[in-house]
């Protein structure tokens, strides 16, 4: 096992190591509220995905540069004032860049956001429930049963995705 870990570490590019270090530095400097606001944990998870896919995907290669640019902007802001000062517009474009990368990861690499399946399970449950309700001629009971089935399916799919390492 120990040997495997060594191999993984060696395979990580300089880019990833640098990115990880920089995100770590930002996390040390910023308070918890700003961690969330600037999605630092998410950035690190995205970095790992881009690292993995950039060998086979030119778009991910480009996104790596976008991510580096985002972190540079954060660093610059921190150097100037110790806190991040982003205008509304800048913050908007910051989130836009992140969302753009996530959109690509979902579409091209079959990944999902955490809670995706549990989120849609209510919809599945209601649809199943209405069908069952019609069959039983008891809409209330049908929807109740459907909701339980939907939740079960959602939890199952979410676990499966986690096992397959498909959650961003
Ligand atoms: Zn890609």
H-state helical runs in the chain: 2-11, 14-29, 32-37, 40-53, 58-81, 88-109, 116-136, 139-163
Whether the per-residue pLDDT at 1 is higher than 60: the answer is no
How much distance in Å is there from the Cα of 25 to the middle of ligand 1?
Answer: 27
Rounded to 5 degrees, what angle do the CA atoms 29, 90, 101 make?
85
d(Cα 132, Cα 137) in Å, to the nearest integer?
8
Output the pTM of the full model: 0.80
Q: Report pLDDT digits (tens) over 5-62.
A: 444 445 789 999 999 999 999 998 888 899 899 999 999 999 999 999 999 999 999 9
pLDDT at site 10: 52
Phi/psi of residue 139, nearest 5 degrees = -60, -45
63 CA to centre of ligand 1 in angstroms: 8
Residues 6+ apart with CB under 8 A from 103: none
Tens of pLDDT, residues 59-102: 999 999 999 999 998 888 887 777 777 889 999 999 999 999 99
Q: How far does the centroid of ligand 1 lie from the alpha carbon of residue 97, in Å?
A: 14
């Amino acid at each position: 096992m120990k040997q495997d870990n060594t191999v993984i570490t060696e395979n990580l590019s300089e880019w990833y190591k640098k990115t990880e270090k920089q995100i770590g530095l930002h996390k040390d400097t910023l308070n918890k509220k700003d961690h969330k606001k600037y999605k630092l944990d998410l950035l690190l998870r995205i970095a790992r995905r881009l690292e993995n896919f950039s060998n086979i995907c030119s778009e991910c290669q480009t996104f790596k540069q976008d991510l580096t640019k985002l972190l540079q902007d954060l660093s610059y802001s921190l150097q100037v004032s110790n806190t991040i000062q982003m205008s509304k517009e800048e913050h908007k474009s910051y989130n836009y860049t992140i969302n753009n990368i996530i959109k690509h990861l979902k579409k091209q690499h079959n990944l999902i956001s955490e809670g995706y399946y549990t989120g849609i399970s209510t919809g599945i449950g209601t649809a199943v429930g209405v069908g069952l309700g019609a069959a039983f001629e008891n809409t209330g009971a049908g929807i109740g049963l459907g909701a339980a089935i939907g939740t079960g399916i959602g939890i199952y799919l979410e676990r499966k995705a986690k096992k397959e390492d498909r959650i961003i």
